[in-house]
Amino acid sequence: MNLFPPTEEQRAAVDSFRKFLQAEIKPIAREYRDRFLPKEKMTEIQQMIAEFGFFGTTVPTQYGGLGLSFLTKAMLFEEIVAVSCDIGLCAMINAGTAEFMVTNAPAHLRDRYLPGLLAGTVFGCFGISEPDVGSNVADIKTRGVRDGDHFVINGEKTWITNGVYSDFIICTTRTSDKGLSHILIDRREHGYEARNIEKIGMNSQSTAQVFITDARVPATNVIGGEGEGLRNTMKVFEKARAHVGMLSVGLMRASLEESIAYAKERKQFGKVIASHQLIAEKLAEMATLADASRLMCLRAFALIDAGIRCEVESSMAKWFATESAVKVCRDAVQLHGGNGLTKEFQVERLLREAIVIPIPDGTTEIQKLLISRQLTGFSSFV
Ligand SMILES: Cc1cc2nc3c(=O)[nH]c(=O)nc-3n(C[C@H](O)[C@H](O)[C@H](O)COP(=O)(O)OP(=O)(O)OC[C@H]3O[C@@H](n4cnc5c(N)ncnc54)[C@H](O)[C@@H]3O)c2cc1C
């Protein structure tokens, strides 16, 4: 039984979105396999996705969005990722910055950036991680020094999704000895440099180092209140982790689809490998892990829609889905035999992408520390 049966409207929206993605976006994703999608091409793609209203799925209609639920957005999001994890991650961050603007930004920033984000023409990014600051977000070094009605910001961010594409960065900045604040730095107006980082997989989108040198930014660009950066980052993580879980669900689905097709084609010992029991077991496990992960993510989204805090459910969904994807995508390679290791087939790419996902937005280890702290009241972080 599906605990989250889609409504007729959701089913219709997902069906037409899937048809569009399979017909229009999948060929581009295949063409750019392991190659960087330049900004013009990624903008074209994001604009096509924007025509379906994806970036504003949960944005209230008064601000130009569709005013729908996170559950609906998650169902649409899975369709993007099943076609391309790279394009999915880029879209996830653009939609995430749009939602962050609506929830936290002063009106002048929201009105300036939101229309472009919803239209797929403006790219945002979140700058939290730094060369010496990964899991321990509270230790951020990037500094904003008050100078009249401006902050002068200096620091280096790393692993920033959309960094090279970005028009602005929501930069988690130390604005006093104790306090962190989110400050929007506009690339053209205030200036920062971005440089891509080559990884094991997911190199069609931008993961970047960002260098901020003496960026002079008005104090009115603080988002969510001065000193509120850590608290608001934790809220961002709650939603982001469920989305990252869905990235993995999309990867598992793609691996499973490739594996079912291959198992029904490939013959050994005089019959298709789908009819060998150990292959049948593998497929059943892959499908079950994908489905369990999907349900855990959708539960987190349902809680978010209900306005109920769900750090634990979101952390559980994130670690379970991302680690399941590593197993499922590895099983897909195994099921393909030697062919699975080659570029002729999609599964080697899917495995390399799956390996990336347990790291962003808090590693598997960090999710488990968060869950166990909630269970026992004891912190095992230090
Ligand atoms: C593809 C990708 C996209 C990303 N996008 C963004 C982005 O858009 N914006 C952004 O700000 N960041 C982004 N990140 C950064 C990501 O959030 C960090 O990589 C992550 O938080 C881990 O930090 P780290 O890499 O510095 O690892 P570290 O924190 O150095 O951890 C190293 C290892 O030690 C473990 N560890 C750390 N602390 C503990 C502990 N207390 N107990 C036990 N084990 C521990 C970790 O689990 C890990 O295995 C992205 C990363 C990737 C790979």
Ligand 1 touching residue 126 (CB < 6 A) = yes
Spacing, Cα 283 to ligand 1 middle (Å) = 31
Check: CB of residue 36 under 8 Å from CB of residue 99: no
In this structure, the answer to whether residues 198 and 242 fall within a common structural domain is no
191: domain CATH number?
Answer: 2.40.110.10
Where does a domain end: 171, 204, 227? 227
Ligand 1 touching residue 233 (CB < 6 A) = no
Residue 330: per-residue pLDDT:
98
Residue 176: per-residue pLDDT:
87
In this structure, the answer to whether residues 326 and 243 fall within a common structural domain is yes
328: domain CATH number?
Answer: 1.20.140.10
Where does a domain end: 69, 98, 122? 122
The H-or-E segment that residue 230 falls in is: helix 229-265
Nearest ligand 1 atom to the CA of 202 is 1
Domain extent at residue 213: 125-227
Residue 1: per-residue pLDDT:
41
Ligand 1 touching residue 359 (CB < 6 A) = yes
The total of structural domains in the chain comes to 3
In this structure, the answer to whether residues 154 and 178 fall within a common structural domain is yes
Nearest ligand 1 atom to the CA of 136 is 29
Decide if 181 is inside a domain: yes
Spacing, Cα 358 to ligand 1 middle (Å) = 9
Decide if 63 is inside a domain: yes
Which residue, judged by its Cα, is nearest atom 26 of ligand 1? 134
51: domain CATH number?
Answer: 1.10.540.10
- Residue range 244-274, pLDDT digits in tens: 999 999 999 999 999 999 999 999 999 999 9
Residue 163: per-residue pLDDT:
98
DSSP result, 296-357 = HHHHHHHHHHTT---HHHHHHHHHHHHHHHHHHHHHHHHHTGGGGGSTTSSHHHHHHHHHHT
Spacing, Cα 199 to ligand 1 middle (Å) = 14
Ligand 1 touching residue 256 (CB < 6 A) = no
Ligand 1 touching residue 224 (CB < 6 A) = no
Check: CB of residue 140 under 8 Å from CB of residue 180: yes
In this structure, the answer to whether residues 138 and 113 fall within a common structural domain is no
Ligand 1 touching residue 132 (CB < 6 A) = no
Nearest ligand 1 atom to the CA of 133 is 26
Decide if 336 is inside a domain: yes
Spacing, Cα 130 to ligand 1 middle (Å) = 10
Ligand 1 touching residue 61 (CB < 6 A) = no
In this structure, the answer to whether residues 323 and 368 fall within a common structural domain is yes
CA dist 254 and 300 (Å) reads 22
In this structure, the answer to whether residues 210 and 245 fall within a common structural domain is no
Residue 3: per-residue pLDDT:
64
Ligand 1 touching residue 363 (CB < 6 A) = yes
In this structure, the answer to whether residues 147 and 129 fall within a common structural domain is yes
Residue 2: per-residue pLDDT:
54
Residue 4: per-residue pLDDT:
79
Three-state DSSP class for 149? coil
Decide if 310 is inside a domain: yes
Ligand 1 touching residue 137 (CB < 6 A) = no
Ligand 1 touching residue 201 (CB < 6 A) = no
Residue 126: per-residue pLDDT:
98
- Count other Cβ atoms within 10 Å, centred on residue 94: 28
∠ Cα 125 44 122 (to 5°): 30
Decide if 172 is inside a domain: yes
Residue 244: per-residue pLDDT:
98
Residue 43: per-residue pLDDT:
98
Three-state DSSP class for 105? coil
Q: How far is CA 304 from CA 9, 62, 233, 239, in A?
A: 20, 20, 16, 8
Decide if 381 is inside a domain: no
Where does a domain end: 122, 149, 174? 122
Spacing, Cα 12 to ligand 1 middle (Å) = 38
In this structure, the answer to whether residues 174 and 290 fall within a common structural domain is no
In this structure, the answer to whether residues 200 and 258 fall within a common structural domain is no
Ligand 1 touching residue 207 (CB < 6 A) = yes
Decide if 2 is inside a domain: no
In this structure, the answer to whether residues 328 and 363 fall within a common structural domain is yes
Nearest ligand 1 atom to the CA of 161 is 8
Q: If the chain, 382 residues long, is cut into consecutive pieces of 10 residues, what is the mean pLDDT of each piece?
A: 79 96 97 97 98 98 97 97 98 98 97 98 98 96 96 98 98 92 98 98 98 98 95 93 98 98 98 98 98 97 96 98 98 98 98 98 98 97 92
Residue 357: per-residue pLDDT:
98
In this structure, the answer to whether residues 89 and 213 fall within a common structural domain is no
In this structure, the answer to whether residues 203 and 243 fall within a common structural domain is no
Decide if 382 is inside a domain: no
Ligand 1 touching residue 196 (CB < 6 A) = no
